[in-house]
A and B are shown apart, each in its own frame.
Chain A
Amino acid sequence: KAGVTQTPRYLIKTRGQQVTLSCSPISGHRSVSWYQQTPGQGLQFLFEYFSETQRNKGNFPGRFSGRQFSNSRSEMNVSTLELGDSALYLCASSSDRLEPRDEQYFGPGTRLTVT
C-alpha cells in the first residue's frame, strides 16, 4: 500500500498571498487530519475531514480552511498568509478513528516558508 503523500514538499510564499496544500491518504482511509507544527507551538491540530465533511476543528482562524473530495484526497488552504504561518504542515490519514487502535499514518509534510 502506498503511504500518505503530500504535495508540494516545500513552498515559499510572500505575506498576503494564499496557498493550497494537498494530501492523498492511504487507499481505503476516509479520515484525513491536518496539523501545523512550529518550534514554538509544537504540533497543533487544524481540522479533520471524514467522508467529505469536516468532523472536527482546532482553534485556528478562518484563514485556514480545508476540504475533502469524494476520493478522500484533501486540500487545505491558507489565505492572506502571515509570517507566523511558516511551519511544517502534516497530514495524517486513518480508516475512521472510531476505534482506539485506529492509528494515524502521517505524510512527509509540506514545509511552508512565508517571507
Chain B
Amino acid sequence: AQKITQTQPGMFVQEKEAVTLDCTYDTSDPSYGLFWYKQPSSGEMIFLIYQGSYDQQNATEGRYSLNFQKARKSANLVISASQLGDSAMYFCAMNALTGNQFYFGTGTSLTVIP
C-alpha cells in the first residue's frame, strides 16, 4: 500500500534560520515521484519541489532542497533562510503509478518567528 507519513504536526523556526520538515513514504513501485506543496492560509496548494525515484541528486529549488534518502524511504524538505512568508502548512505527496493516485501526508504547520 502507498503511504506518506509526516510526523511533525507543528514546527517553529526563527527567521533566517534553516528548518527541516520530515516525510517518509512507503511504496512498492520502483518508479515514483515525491512532491512538496505549500498551503498558505488562503488555501491554495503551491508546488515547491519534485524528486524522482531514479534521480541521483537531491532536488533544489531556490531556498528549498529535498533531502532524498531512498534506502530509508525519506524525502525531507529543507528550507534555508526562513522568511515570515514561509509560515504555512506543508504537505509531502507521492505519485505512485500503482493505484493511479496522488498520496498526501497529513501536513506540517510551520510558523516562522521574527
Q: Is the CB of B100 within 8 A of A43?
A: no
Instruction: Please report whether the interface of chain A is mostly helix, strand, loop or mixed according to DSSP.
Output: strand
CB distance from B99 to the nearest CB of A (A): 7
Q: What is the size, in residues, of chain B's interface with A at 8 Å between Cβ atoms?
A: 26
List 11 A-B residue pairs with CB atoms under 8 Å apart, sorted by A's residue number: A48-B101, A56-B99, A100-B33, A100-B52, A101-B33, A102-B33, A102-B95, A106-B37, A106-B46, A108-B42, A109-B43
CB distance from A85 to the nearest CB of B (A): 17
Instruction: Please report whether the interface of chain B is mostly helix, strand, loop or mixed according to DSSP.
Output: strand
Which residues of B are in contact with A by a Cβ distance under 8 Å? 31-33, 35, 37, 42-47, 50, 52-53, 91, 93, 95-97, 99-102, 104, 106-107
**A55 interfacial contact with B, CB 8 Å:** yes
Which residues of A are in contact with B by a Cβ distance under 8 Å? 33, 35, 42-43, 45, 48, 55-56, 88, 90, 92, 97-109, 111
